[in-house]
Each structure stands twice: as structure tokens, then as C-alpha cells.
Amino acid sequence: MGIELKDIKKSFGTPPTQVIRGISLNIELGEFVSFVGRSGCGKSTLLYIMSTLDEPTSGQVMIDGKEVTTLEQSELHLFRNLQMGFVFQFHHLLPELSAIENILMPAMKAKRSGERRPYAISLMEEFGLKDRLDHLPSQLSGGEQQRVAIARALVMEPKYLFADEPTGNLDSANGNGVMSLFKRVNKERRMSVIFVTHDTEFSKMATRRIEMSDGLLVS
């Protein structure tokens, strides 16, 4: 169980330049992992590969014991829909939808929006967004938007939460808020949280800190 990477390599462009140069790594279910490293060292690239959004040039990605490349497209979609949540540096909320509708978008895909609605509302309450249910993203502050995006990632109660610089666009107060949210869902819901950050303070909040340099693991 968990995520298992075996000798992952990834190159871009012609002539190919290797960005990930052979990384093997195990992340157990329920771990709270941070990735740090210099800009351009390949953190985002690795995160997208282990979260099935991108494919490695060579190597194996196993999630819950299944090799990702052998999965059917539909299985992959189902997997992303039910087992994974993503948070990006930019919130990527749909501007036409209200906060609660945005949060329920993954549930809508699974045709379970009715069933997940109470949970979505409880998430909003938990995140201090109780009276923002029907606000449009443009009517929310940056921190509120990011919290809505996190609630959206959590609404299906996935096993894995991937975040790429979730605090990158926030001030330190809001950033702290997001990090403590991550810590809570990891602790209380035993969710595996895997995030990339530039902030050393935040990276120390993780139970496991992985440093990268130039496409390889340092520690």
C-alpha cells in the first residue's frame, strides 16, 4: 500500500535533458511528507509523476500495489476522482460556481453530490467559511479561495492529498492556516499528505522531509 517509485527518470525536450535522474522512494499510507529543494530541481515534476498527472520517461509508479501505466484510462480517472486530492499554488476555482458548488465538483463527477453535500458544508465550517457558502470565488479573499480549493480536494475523503506550493500565494498567516489544516486532516483522517514547498518552516511541520537536488534525492 502507499506510493512506490522505482528508478523514476524524466526528460524533457529535444535533445532530451534529464530533470529527474533516477529516484526510488516509498511513501506509506498516512504519511505527511514535504519536498524541498532549489528552484528547478524537479520537485513539481516528481509530484505530478507520483500523482499520475504526468508519466515518467522510465521507471515504475505503483499506487496501492497497482502499476499506474497498466491502468485503464477510466480506472485512472476513477482513481483520481475518489482517491486523490490536488491543491495547486493557484487555487483554480471555477469562477462561475459558488464556493460550495466548487467544493462539490469532484462529487458531481462521481454523481454523489447530494450525498457529499453535508460533508462539504462541515468542511467549510471547519475551515471558517461557514457564511461564504454561496459566494463566488471573486467574492472571496485569496486565503479563503485557497481554503475552498483545499476543501474541494478533501470532499471525496481521498487517501492522498497532493499539494504543489499550496502556500506560495498566501501571506504567512494564511499559509500557517493552510498548513495546520493539512496537519489536521493527516492526523484526524489518516490521509497521506504530500506537498512541495519553498518554506523551511512549513517543511519542518511534516513528519518526513525529503530534500531534492538536481533531479535526485539528497537525504
Q: Return residues touching other proteins (CB under 8 A).
A: 44-45, 48, 53-54, 73-74, 77-82, 84, 86, 88-90, 92, 94-97, 105-106, 109-110, 152, 164-165, 168
**Residue whose C-beta lies closest to Mg ion:** 44
Q: CA–CA separation, 11 vs 169, rounded Å?
A: 28
C-alpha cell at 40: 528547478
C-alpha cell at 157: 475523503
Q: Is 43 in the site for ligand ATP (CB under 6 A)?
A: yes
Candidate ranges 41-49, 116-124, 169-177, 182-190; the one touching Mg ion (CB under 5 A): 41-49
- Kindly write down the DSSP assignment for every residue of 45-97, as one continuous string: HHHHHHTTSS--SEEEEEETTEEGGGS-HHHHHHHHHHHEEEE-SS----TTS
Q: How far is CA 131 from the centre of its chain?
A: 26
Q: Which of other proteins, Mg ion, ligand ATP, none interacts with 13 (beta carbon under 5 to 8 A by kind)? A: ligand ATP
Q: Which of other proteins, Mg ion, ligand ATP, none interacts with 66 (beta carbon under 5 to 8 A by kind)? A: none
CB of 44 to Mg ion, least distance (A): 3
CB of 214 to ligand ATP, least distance (A): 9
CB of 50 to Mg ion, least distance (A): 14
Residue 111's contacts (CB-CB under 8 Å, 6 or more residues apart) are: none
For helices 142-154 and 113-126, what crossing angle results, to 10°? 140
Q: Is 42 in the site for ligand ATP (CB under 6 A)?
A: yes
Pairing relationship of beta strands 58-63 and 66-67 according to DSSP bridges = antiparallel
C-alpha cell at 94: 471555477
CB of 16 to ligand ATP, least distance (A): 9
Q: Is 113 in the site for ligand ATP (CB under 6 A)?
A: no
Length of the chain: 219
The answer to whether the beta carbons of residues 155 and 107 sit under 8 Å apart is yes
Residue type, 144: E
Restricting to residues 2-41, name those near ligand ATP by CB under 6 A: 12-13, 19, 37, 39-41
CB of 119 to other proteins, least distance (A): 16
**Binding stretches for ligand ATP (CB under 6 A):** 12-13, 19, 37, 39-45
